[in-house]
Structure 1
Amino acid sequence: MSDLETRFNDAVDYIQNGRGDTSPSNDLKLEFYALYKQATEGDVGGKRPGMMDFVGRAKFDAREKVKGMSRDEAMQRYIDRLDEFRG
C-alpha cells in the first residue's frame, strides 16, 4: 500500500468515525462522498435520479463534479479537504 493510500484510508476513517469536535457541513459531506466514490469506484454512471429523490440527486450531482478525476487526485483532494476542515 502506498503512502497516499495509507493517508487516504486514515482520512476516511477520521470522517466515517466522526472524530473531532465539529461536523462538516452538508456541502462538505457531499464533497467528501464524491471524492471517496471517485477514488474507490471511478466515474459516476447511469442516469441522474428523479426529481423527488433529493438525496440521490445531490449525490449524483456531487459525483458529476469530479467525473474524470484520477484515483490519486481524488485521494489527495480528500486528504487536502480534511486538512483544511480541521484547520
Structure 2
Amino acid sequence: MPSDAFNQAAESVQSLTVKPTDDELLSLYGLFKQATVGDNTTPKPSVFDLKGKYKWNAWDKLKGKSQEDAEKEYIELAESLVAKYSN
C-alpha cells in the first residue's frame, strides 16, 4: 500500500504547469508501476505500439527493485521535478 508521501508526490506531479521531458515522464511511470504493482509480468507490446513499448521498457528495466525502493525513488524524482518545473 503506497504511503501518504507517495500519494502526495503523485498528486504534485499531476499539477505541474510545465510538462516534464519524455525521459522524465518515462522514469516516473516506471517507478510508479514498480512501486504500486511490483515486477513487470505483462507481455511486451507490439512493435507498432511505440508509446506502449517505451512505457513497458521503462517499467521492465526496474525488475528486481523492491517496491519500497521504487517508492522512495519516485518521491525523490517527483520532488525534483516539482522544484524544477514550478513557477
Category of TM-score, reference length = shorter chain: 0.7 to 0.9
Distance 2:28 2:16 in 1: 16
Quote the offset at 1:71 in angstroms: 1.0
Q: Distance between the aligned counterparts of 1:47 and 1:75, measured in 2? A: 23
Match of 1:37 among 16, 26, 33: 33
Identical-pair percentage: 34
Matched, 1:75 2:71: yes
Once the two structures are TM-superposed, the CA of residue 28 in structure 1 deviates from its matched residue by: 0.7
The TM-score, its normalising length taken from structure 2, stands at 0.84
Alpha-carbon offset, residue 55 of structure 1: 1.0
The 3-state SS of whatever aligns with 2:9 is helix
Q: 1:28 corresponds to which letter in structure 2?
A: E
Query: Structure 1 residue 47: deviation in Å?
Result: 2.3
Deviations 1:47-68 (A, max 9, x none): 2111101011111100111111
What RMSD in Å do the two structures reach over aligned CA positions?
1.7
Amino acid at match of 1:59: K
Specify every segment of 5 or more residues in structure 2 that has no aligned partner in the other structure, as ranges.
Answer: none
Match of 2:49 in 1: 53
2:4 corresponds to which residue? 6
Unaligned stretches of 5+ residues in structure 1 = none
Match of residue 66 from structure 1: 62
Letter in 2 for 1:33: Y
Structure of greater relative contact order (alpha carbons < 8 Å, 6+ residues apart):
2
